[in-house]
Amino acid sequence: MNDWIASLYRYPVTVSTCLLAVAATATWWLGGNVDAYMMGPEFWNGEVWRPFTTTLPHVNAIHLVFNLYWIFRFGMVLEGVHGSGKTFLIFVGLAAGSSLASHAVFEDGVGLSGVGYGLFGLLWVLRRRDTRFRGAFDDWTVKMFIVWFFLCIATTYGGIMNVGNFAHFFGAVFGMLLGRAIGNLARGKAVIGVAIAAAGLLVTAGAFARSSAWAMEQGLTTAVLHPIERGKVLAYEGYRAQERGEQEQAIEKYQGALALDQRDWRIWYDLGVALQIRERDDKASIAFQEAVSRAGEKRGENPYLCHAYKFLARRAAAKGDDKGAVTYWHKALDAGRDDAEVWHGLGMSLERLGDRAGAETAFRRAVASDRDNAEYRASLERVTGGK
Protein backbone atom coordinates (compact mmCIF):
# COMPACT_ATOMS: atom_id res chain seq x y z
CA MET A 1 0.00 0.00 0.00
CA ASN A 2 2.80 2.41 0.95
CA ASP A 3 4.66 1.53 -2.26
CA TRP A 4 1.52 2.28 -4.27
CA ILE A 5 1.09 5.67 -2.61
CA ALA A 6 4.77 6.46 -3.09
CA SER A 7 4.46 5.63 -6.80
CA LEU A 8 1.84 8.34 -7.34
CA TYR A 9 4.55 10.97 -7.84
CA ARG A 10 5.12 9.41 -11.27
CA TYR A 11 1.65 10.59 -12.37
CA PRO A 12 1.54 14.28 -11.40
CA VAL A 13 -0.98 15.34 -14.07
CA THR A 14 -3.47 12.58 -13.28
CA VAL A 15 -3.17 12.98 -9.50
CA SER A 16 -3.33 16.78 -9.66
CA THR A 17 -6.43 16.69 -11.85
CA CYS A 18 -8.21 14.41 -9.38
CA LEU A 19 -7.18 16.52 -6.37
CA LEU A 20 -8.31 19.73 -8.07
CA ALA A 21 -11.67 18.11 -8.84
CA VAL A 22 -12.10 17.08 -5.20
CA ALA A 23 -11.17 20.59 -4.00
CA ALA A 24 -13.50 22.36 -6.44
CA THR A 25 -16.37 19.98 -5.65
CA ALA A 26 -15.89 20.37 -1.88
CA THR A 27 -15.87 24.15 -2.24
CA TRP A 28 -19.14 24.01 -4.19
CA TRP A 29 -20.83 21.58 -1.79
CA LEU A 30 -19.83 23.71 1.21
CA GLY A 31 -21.59 26.74 -0.26
CA GLY A 32 -18.69 28.40 -2.03
CA ASN A 33 -19.43 30.41 -5.15
CA VAL A 34 -17.91 28.65 -8.17
CA ASP A 35 -19.86 30.57 -10.82
CA ALA A 36 -16.64 32.09 -12.14
CA TYR A 37 -15.41 28.63 -13.11
CA MET A 38 -18.53 27.35 -14.90
CA MET A 39 -18.77 27.29 -18.68
CA GLY A 40 -21.09 30.00 -19.96
CA PRO A 41 -21.38 33.03 -22.22
CA GLU A 42 -18.91 34.91 -20.01
CA PHE A 43 -16.27 32.93 -21.90
CA TRP A 44 -16.68 35.49 -24.69
CA ASN A 45 -15.86 38.33 -22.32
CA GLY A 46 -12.31 37.04 -22.05
CA GLU A 47 -12.80 34.44 -19.31
CA VAL A 48 -11.02 31.80 -21.37
CA TRP A 49 -10.36 29.47 -18.44
CA ARG A 50 -14.00 28.37 -18.21
CA PRO A 51 -13.86 25.40 -20.66
CA PHE A 52 -11.19 23.86 -18.43
CA THR A 53 -12.34 24.80 -14.93
CA THR A 54 -15.95 23.75 -15.59
CA THR A 55 -14.73 20.14 -15.62
CA LEU A 56 -13.68 20.26 -11.95
CA PRO A 57 -16.90 20.70 -9.87
CA HIS A 58 -19.24 17.69 -9.66
CA VAL A 59 -22.93 17.53 -8.85
CA ASN A 60 -23.01 14.62 -6.39
CA ALA A 61 -20.94 11.82 -4.88
CA ILE A 62 -21.76 9.28 -7.62
CA HIS A 63 -20.82 11.80 -10.30
CA LEU A 64 -17.52 12.56 -8.55
CA VAL A 65 -16.47 9.01 -7.67
CA PHE A 66 -17.34 7.61 -11.11
CA ASN A 67 -15.34 10.26 -12.94
CA LEU A 68 -12.36 10.20 -10.60
CA TYR A 69 -12.07 6.43 -10.83
CA TRP A 70 -11.85 6.41 -14.61
CA ILE A 71 -9.71 9.54 -14.87
CA PHE A 72 -7.28 7.97 -12.43
CA ARG A 73 -7.31 4.58 -14.11
CA PHE A 74 -6.99 5.84 -17.69
CA GLY A 75 -4.72 8.75 -16.81
CA MET A 76 -2.13 6.54 -15.11
CA VAL A 77 -1.93 4.30 -18.19
CA LEU A 78 -1.54 7.27 -20.53
CA GLU A 79 0.92 9.18 -18.34
CA GLY A 80 2.97 6.04 -17.75
CA VAL A 81 3.56 5.67 -21.48
CA HIS A 82 3.60 9.22 -22.86
CA GLY A 83 4.85 11.15 -19.85
CA SER A 84 3.41 14.13 -18.01
CA GLY A 85 3.95 16.80 -20.68
CA LYS A 86 1.97 15.05 -23.42
CA THR A 87 -0.64 13.85 -20.93
CA PHE A 88 -1.21 17.42 -19.74
CA LEU A 89 -1.77 18.58 -23.32
CA ILE A 90 -4.17 15.69 -23.95
CA PHE A 91 -6.15 16.46 -20.78
CA VAL A 92 -6.37 20.14 -21.71
CA GLY A 93 -7.36 19.36 -25.29
CA LEU A 94 -10.11 16.94 -24.28
CA ALA A 95 -11.47 19.36 -21.66
CA ALA A 96 -11.55 22.23 -24.15
CA GLY A 97 -12.97 20.15 -26.99
CA SER A 98 -15.80 18.56 -25.01
CA SER A 99 -16.70 21.78 -23.15
CA LEU A 100 -16.74 24.02 -26.23
CA ALA A 101 -18.61 21.49 -28.34
CA SER A 102 -21.26 21.07 -25.62
CA HIS A 103 -21.44 24.84 -25.27
CA ALA A 104 -22.08 25.04 -29.01
CA VAL A 105 -25.27 23.00 -28.68
CA PHE A 106 -26.43 24.89 -25.57
CA GLU A 107 -25.54 22.19 -23.04
CA ASP A 108 -23.15 23.67 -20.50
CA GLY A 109 -22.35 21.40 -17.61
CA VAL A 110 -19.81 20.41 -14.99
CA GLY A 111 -17.61 17.42 -14.31
CA LEU A 112 -14.83 15.41 -15.90
CA SER A 113 -17.16 13.16 -17.91
CA GLY A 114 -16.07 14.63 -21.24
CA VAL A 115 -12.41 14.08 -20.37
CA GLY A 116 -13.18 10.57 -19.10
CA TYR A 117 -14.97 9.59 -22.31
CA GLY A 118 -12.18 11.26 -24.26
CA LEU A 119 -9.56 9.11 -22.56
CA PHE A 120 -11.74 6.06 -23.15
CA GLY A 121 -11.98 6.86 -26.88
CA LEU A 122 -8.24 7.58 -27.06
CA LEU A 123 -7.19 4.35 -25.36
CA TRP A 124 -9.81 2.30 -27.20
CA VAL A 125 -8.10 3.26 -30.47
CA LEU A 126 -4.52 3.06 -29.16
CA ARG A 127 -4.89 -0.41 -27.63
CA ARG A 128 -5.52 -1.74 -31.14
CA ARG A 129 -2.57 0.11 -32.67
CA ASP A 130 0.08 0.25 -29.93
CA THR A 131 1.14 -2.81 -27.91
CA ARG A 132 1.92 -0.61 -24.89
CA PHE A 133 -1.81 0.00 -24.45
CA ARG A 134 -3.06 -3.57 -24.98
CA GLY A 135 -3.90 -3.94 -21.28
CA ALA A 136 -5.46 -0.49 -20.88
CA PHE A 137 -8.88 -2.08 -20.31
CA ASP A 138 -10.86 -5.16 -21.30
CA ASP A 139 -13.96 -5.71 -23.43
CA TRP A 140 -16.20 -5.49 -20.35
CA THR A 141 -15.09 -1.88 -19.88
CA VAL A 142 -15.97 -1.09 -23.48
CA LYS A 143 -19.46 -2.55 -23.06
CA MET A 144 -19.93 -0.71 -19.76
CA PHE A 145 -19.03 2.67 -21.28
CA ILE A 146 -21.40 2.11 -24.21
CA VAL A 147 -24.26 1.01 -21.94
CA TRP A 148 -23.60 3.92 -19.58
CA PHE A 149 -23.67 6.35 -22.50
CA PHE A 150 -27.15 5.27 -23.60
CA LEU A 151 -28.38 4.92 -20.02
CA CYS A 152 -27.43 8.56 -19.40
CA ILE A 153 -29.40 9.62 -22.47
CA ALA A 154 -32.43 7.68 -21.18
CA THR A 155 -32.24 9.22 -17.69
CA THR A 156 -31.93 12.71 -19.19
CA TYR A 157 -34.89 12.49 -21.54
CA GLY A 158 -36.88 10.52 -18.99
CA GLY A 159 -36.58 13.42 -16.56
CA ILE A 160 -34.80 11.28 -13.94
CA MET A 161 -31.41 12.97 -13.99
CA ASN A 162 -29.89 15.60 -16.24
CA VAL A 163 -26.60 14.39 -17.74
CA GLY A 164 -24.09 16.08 -20.07
CA ASN A 165 -24.59 13.64 -22.94
CA PHE A 166 -23.01 15.89 -25.53
CA ALA A 167 -19.87 16.13 -23.38
CA HIS A 168 -19.71 12.33 -23.39
CA PHE A 169 -20.23 12.16 -27.15
CA PHE A 170 -17.86 14.93 -28.18
CA GLY A 171 -15.22 13.82 -25.66
CA ALA A 172 -15.27 10.29 -27.10
CA VAL A 173 -15.11 11.60 -30.69
CA PHE A 174 -12.15 13.88 -29.94
CA GLY A 175 -10.42 11.08 -28.04
CA MET A 176 -10.78 8.64 -30.94
CA LEU A 177 -9.53 11.23 -33.43
CA LEU A 178 -6.57 11.95 -31.22
CA GLY A 179 -5.88 8.23 -30.81
CA ARG A 180 -5.85 7.77 -34.58
CA ALA A 181 -3.49 10.69 -34.99
CA ILE A 182 -1.07 9.45 -32.30
CA GLY A 183 -1.20 5.90 -33.65
CA ASN A 184 -0.37 6.95 -37.18
CA LEU A 185 2.42 9.24 -36.05
CA ALA A 186 3.92 6.39 -34.03
CA ARG A 187 3.85 4.22 -37.16
CA GLY A 188 5.68 6.84 -39.16
CA LYS A 189 2.58 7.85 -41.11
CA ALA A 190 3.04 11.51 -40.39
CA VAL A 191 0.77 12.75 -43.20
CA ILE A 192 -2.18 10.64 -42.02
CA GLY A 193 -1.55 11.58 -38.41
CA VAL A 194 -1.44 15.29 -39.19
CA ALA A 195 -4.56 15.02 -41.36
CA ILE A 196 -6.54 13.34 -38.58
CA ALA A 197 -5.28 15.87 -36.04
CA ALA A 198 -6.28 18.67 -38.40
CA ALA A 199 -9.76 17.15 -38.74
CA GLY A 200 -10.07 17.17 -34.96
CA LEU A 201 -8.96 20.78 -34.84
CA LEU A 202 -11.53 21.70 -37.50
CA VAL A 203 -14.31 20.07 -35.50
CA THR A 204 -13.15 21.94 -32.40
CA ALA A 205 -12.91 25.20 -34.34
CA GLY A 206 -16.42 24.68 -35.71
CA ALA A 207 -17.74 24.10 -32.22
CA PHE A 208 -15.84 27.14 -31.02
CA ALA A 209 -17.35 29.32 -33.72
CA ARG A 210 -20.84 27.92 -33.16
CA SER A 211 -20.58 28.66 -29.45
CA SER A 212 -20.59 32.37 -30.28
CA ALA A 213 -24.38 31.98 -30.29
CA TRP A 214 -24.10 31.79 -26.53
CA ALA A 215 -22.14 35.03 -26.27
CA MET A 216 -23.56 37.94 -24.32
CA GLU A 217 -24.69 40.92 -26.33
CA GLN A 218 -23.01 43.71 -24.41
CA GLY A 219 -19.45 44.51 -25.35
CA LEU A 220 -19.13 41.84 -28.02
CA THR A 221 -18.68 42.24 -31.73
CA THR A 222 -17.82 38.62 -32.58
CA ALA A 223 -21.30 37.16 -32.19
CA VAL A 224 -24.13 37.63 -34.63
CA LEU A 225 -27.00 36.08 -32.72
CA HIS A 226 -30.36 34.84 -33.91
CA PRO A 227 -33.17 36.30 -31.72
CA ILE A 228 -34.07 32.87 -30.31
CA GLU A 229 -30.43 32.28 -29.40
CA ARG A 230 -30.18 35.69 -27.73
CA GLY A 231 -33.30 34.74 -25.80
CA LYS A 232 -31.66 31.57 -24.54
CA VAL A 233 -28.62 33.56 -23.43
CA LEU A 234 -30.78 36.01 -21.50
CA ALA A 235 -32.88 33.24 -19.96
CA TYR A 236 -29.70 31.50 -18.82
CA GLU A 237 -28.42 34.72 -17.29
CA GLY A 238 -31.78 35.20 -15.57
CA TYR A 239 -31.60 31.71 -14.09
CA ARG A 240 -28.10 32.33 -12.75
CA ALA A 241 -29.22 35.67 -11.26
CA GLN A 242 -32.21 33.97 -9.64
CA GLU A 243 -29.92 31.36 -8.11
CA ARG A 244 -27.91 34.19 -6.56
CA GLY A 245 -31.08 35.74 -5.12
CA GLU A 246 -30.93 38.73 -7.48
CA GLN A 247 -34.62 38.67 -8.39
CA GLU A 248 -34.78 42.11 -10.02
CA GLN A 249 -31.97 41.27 -12.39
CA ALA A 250 -33.57 37.90 -13.08
CA ILE A 251 -36.89 39.57 -13.93
CA GLU A 252 -35.15 41.92 -16.33
CA LYS A 253 -33.33 39.07 -18.05
CA TYR A 254 -36.45 36.90 -18.35
CA GLN A 255 -38.44 39.78 -19.79
CA GLY A 256 -35.66 40.40 -22.30
CA ALA A 257 -35.66 36.72 -23.26
CA LEU A 258 -39.43 36.68 -23.73
CA ALA A 259 -39.30 39.82 -25.86
CA LEU A 260 -37.23 37.76 -28.30
CA ASP A 261 -39.02 34.40 -28.03
CA GLN A 262 -42.23 33.77 -26.07
CA ARG A 263 -42.68 30.08 -26.79
CA ASP A 264 -40.79 28.48 -23.90
CA TRP A 265 -43.19 27.93 -20.97
CA ARG A 266 -40.29 27.43 -18.58
CA ILE A 267 -39.10 31.02 -19.02
CA TRP A 268 -42.62 32.25 -18.27
CA TYR A 269 -42.67 30.04 -15.19
CA ASP A 270 -39.29 31.30 -13.92
CA LEU A 271 -40.44 34.87 -14.48
CA GLY A 272 -43.59 34.13 -12.48
CA VAL A 273 -41.54 32.76 -9.57
CA ALA A 274 -39.27 35.82 -9.54
CA LEU A 275 -42.29 38.15 -9.61
CA GLN A 276 -43.98 36.13 -6.87
CA ILE A 277 -40.92 36.45 -4.64
CA ARG A 278 -40.99 40.21 -5.21
CA GLU A 279 -44.73 40.16 -4.32
CA ARG A 280 -45.86 41.46 -7.70
CA ASP A 281 -48.77 39.06 -7.72
CA ASP A 282 -50.75 40.57 -10.59
CA LYS A 283 -47.79 40.31 -12.96
CA ALA A 284 -46.88 36.89 -11.55
CA SER A 285 -50.42 35.71 -12.38
CA ILE A 286 -49.97 36.78 -15.98
CA ALA A 287 -46.62 34.98 -16.21
CA PHE A 288 -47.98 31.76 -14.67
CA GLN A 289 -51.02 31.92 -16.92
CA GLU A 290 -48.75 32.13 -19.94
CA ALA A 291 -46.63 29.27 -18.57
CA VAL A 292 -49.52 26.82 -18.14
CA SER A 293 -51.05 27.90 -21.44
CA ARG A 294 -47.85 27.33 -23.40
CA ALA A 295 -47.00 24.10 -21.59
CA GLY A 296 -50.10 22.53 -23.14
CA GLU A 297 -51.58 19.28 -21.88
CA LYS A 298 -48.57 17.83 -20.12
CA ARG A 299 -49.38 14.40 -18.68
CA GLY A 300 -48.04 13.10 -15.40
CA GLU A 301 -46.68 14.92 -12.40
CA ASN A 302 -44.96 18.23 -12.95
CA PRO A 303 -44.08 20.16 -9.77
CA TYR A 304 -43.51 23.40 -11.69
CA LEU A 305 -46.94 23.44 -13.32
CA CYS A 306 -48.47 22.34 -10.01
CA HIS A 307 -46.91 25.38 -8.35
CA ALA A 308 -48.22 27.67 -11.09
CA TYR A 309 -51.77 26.27 -10.85
CA LYS A 310 -51.74 26.59 -7.04
CA PHE A 311 -50.76 30.23 -7.30
CA LEU A 312 -53.49 30.91 -9.86
CA ALA A 313 -56.06 29.07 -7.75
CA ARG A 314 -55.21 31.07 -4.64
CA ARG A 315 -55.38 34.32 -6.58
CA ALA A 316 -58.79 33.42 -8.03
CA ALA A 317 -60.10 32.47 -4.58
CA ALA A 318 -58.76 35.71 -3.08
CA LYS A 319 -60.77 37.64 -5.68
CA GLY A 320 -63.95 35.73 -4.83
CA ASP A 321 -63.87 33.57 -7.97
CA ASP A 322 -64.14 30.15 -6.34
CA LYS A 323 -65.47 28.55 -9.53
CA GLY A 324 -62.32 29.60 -11.32
CA ALA A 325 -60.25 28.50 -8.32
CA VAL A 326 -61.82 25.01 -8.43
CA THR A 327 -60.78 24.70 -12.08
CA TYR A 328 -57.20 25.61 -11.21
CA TRP A 329 -57.16 23.29 -8.15
CA HIS A 330 -58.21 20.39 -10.36
CA LYS A 331 -55.47 21.20 -12.86
CA ALA A 332 -53.00 21.39 -9.97
CA LEU A 333 -54.13 17.90 -8.92
CA ASP A 334 -53.32 16.62 -12.40
CA ALA A 335 -49.76 17.88 -11.90
CA GLY A 336 -49.41 16.89 -8.23
CA ARG A 337 -51.92 14.25 -7.18
CA ASP A 338 -50.73 13.74 -3.59
CA ASP A 339 -50.30 17.41 -2.75
CA ALA A 340 -52.17 17.98 0.53
CA GLU A 341 -52.16 21.75 0.01
CA VAL A 342 -54.01 21.35 -3.27
CA TRP A 343 -56.65 19.08 -1.74
CA HIS A 344 -57.20 21.52 1.13
CA GLY A 345 -57.44 24.50 -1.21
CA LEU A 346 -59.95 22.63 -3.36
CA GLY A 347 -61.99 21.80 -0.26
CA MET A 348 -62.05 25.43 0.87
CA SER A 349 -63.32 26.61 -2.51
CA LEU A 350 -65.95 23.86 -2.69
CA GLU A 351 -67.11 24.68 0.83
CA ARG A 352 -67.62 28.34 -0.07
CA LEU A 353 -69.56 27.24 -3.13
CA GLY A 354 -71.88 25.19 -0.90
CA ASP A 355 -70.64 21.77 -2.01
CA ARG A 356 -70.11 20.28 1.45
CA ALA A 357 -69.88 16.69 0.20
CA GLY A 358 -67.15 17.60 -2.28
CA ALA A 359 -65.41 19.70 0.38
CA GLU A 360 -65.49 16.79 2.83
CA THR A 361 -63.93 14.46 0.27
CA ALA A 362 -61.17 16.98 -0.50
CA PHE A 363 -60.47 17.64 3.20
CA ARG A 364 -60.24 13.90 3.88
CA ARG A 365 -57.67 13.57 1.10
CA ALA A 366 -55.71 16.50 2.54
CA VAL A 367 -55.68 14.95 6.02
CA ALA A 368 -54.71 11.55 4.59
CA SER A 369 -51.74 13.17 2.82
CA ASP A 370 -50.67 15.24 5.86
CA ARG A 371 -52.09 13.90 9.13
CA ASP A 372 -50.03 16.25 11.30
CA ASN A 373 -51.52 19.43 9.85
CA ALA A 374 -53.93 20.92 12.42
CA GLU A 375 -55.51 23.28 9.87
CA TYR A 376 -56.50 20.40 7.60
CA ARG A 377 -58.01 18.43 10.49
CA ALA A 378 -59.94 21.51 11.66
CA SER A 379 -61.39 22.03 8.18
CA LEU A 380 -62.54 18.42 8.05
CA GLU A 381 -64.15 18.65 11.49
CA ARG A 382 -65.92 21.84 10.47
CA VAL A 383 -67.73 20.30 7.49
CA THR A 384 -68.46 16.99 9.24
CA GLY A 385 -69.47 18.42 12.59
CA GLY A 386 -66.70 16.46 14.25
CA LYS A 387 -67.97 13.10 12.95
Which of 144, 148, 206 is closest to 174 using CA atoms?
206
pLDDT of residue 223: 39
Q: What is the pTM of this model?
A: 0.54
The mean pLDDT of the chain is: 80
Task: Give the closest residue to 378 by CA, choosing from 354, 351, 338.
Answer: 351
pLDDT score for 3: 58
Among the listed ranges 224-228, 288-292, 331-335, 363-367, which one has the minimum average pLDDT value?
Answer: 224-228
pLDDT band at 237 (very low <50, low <70, confident <90, very high): confident
d(CA 283, CA 381): 37
Q: Residue 172: is its pLDDT beyond 50?
A: yes
Q: How far apart are CA 356 and CA 354, in angstroms?
A: 6
Closest CA to 254 of 296, 295, 286, 213: 286
Element (H, E) at 142: helix 139-157
Higher-confidence residue of 196 and 38: namely: 38
Q: What is the CA radius of gyration of the chain?
A: 27
State residue 284's pLDDT score. Answer: 93
Give the residue, 78 or 221, on which the prediction is more confident: 78
Q: What is the pLDDT of residues 249-278, one digit of tens each?
A: 889 988 888 887 787 888 899 999 999 999
Q: How far is CA 345 from CA 332, 342, 350, in A?
A: 10, 5, 9
Give the residue from 264, 253, 262 showing the smallest Cα distance to 216. Answer: 253
Q: How far is CA 216 from CA 224, 235, 280, 290, in A?
A: 10, 11, 28, 26
pLDDT tens-digit map of 162-171: 677 778 888 8
Query: What is the average per-residue pLDDT within 347-354?
Result: 92
Q: Picking from 11-15, 104-108, 240-244, which range would have the lowest pLDDT averaged per residue? A: 104-108
* pLDDT of 219 above 50: no
CATH superfamily, with its number, for domain 2-214: Rhomboid-like (1.20.1540.10)
Each domain of the chain, given as residue ranges in start order, spans 2-214, 226-296, 316-387
The distance in angstroms from the start CA to the end CA of the chain is: 70
Which of 202-206, 338-342, 366-370, 380-384 has the weakest average pLDDT? 202-206
Distance CA 240, CA 366 (A): 35
What CATH code is assigned to 226-296? 1.25.40.10
Residue 283 clears pLDDT 90, i.e. is over it: yes
**pLDDT over 80 (residue 69):** yes
Which whole-number Å values give the CA distances from 236 to 84, 119, 203, in the listed order?
Answer: 37, 30, 25
In CATH terms, are 2-214 and 316-387 the same topology? no
- Please report, rounded to a whole number, the percentage of residues in the chain having pLDDT higher than 90: 24
pLDDT of 286 above 60 = yes
Q: What amino acid occupies position 27?
A: T
pLDDT at 247 over 80: yes
C-alpha distances (whole Å) from 240 to each of 62, 63, 249 are 24, 22, 10
Residues 315 and 218: their CA atoms lie apart, in Å, by 38
Split at pLDDT 50, 70, 90, the class of 19 is: very high
User: CB of 264 within 8 A of CB of 275?
Assistant: no
Say yes or no to pLDDT of 6 above 70: no
User: Which fold, 316-387?
Assistant: 1.25.40
Q: What are the φ and ψ backbone dihedral angles of 58, each rounded to 5 degrees?
A: -130, 150
What pLDDT sits at residue 352? 93
In contact, 125 and 183? CB cutoff 8 Å: yes
10 Å Cβ neighbour count for 48?
10
DSSP symbols for 44-91: GGT-TTHHHHTTS--SSHHHHHHHHHHHHHHHHHHHHHHHHHHHHHHH
Asked if residues 333 and 314 have their Cβ atoms less than 8 Å apart, the reply is no
| pLDDT given at position 216 | 41
- The yes-or-no verdict on residue 225 having pLDDT over 50 is no
Q: Are 293 and 272 in contact (CB under 8 A)?
A: no
Instruction: Report d(CA 89, CA 181) in Å as an integer.
Output: 14
What does the alpha-carbon distance between residue 101 and residue 88 come to, in Å, rounded to a whole number?
A: 20
pLDDT tens, residue by residue, 323-345: 999 999 999 888 876 788 999 99
> Which of 274, 45, 186, 211 shows the shortest CA–CA distance to 178?
186
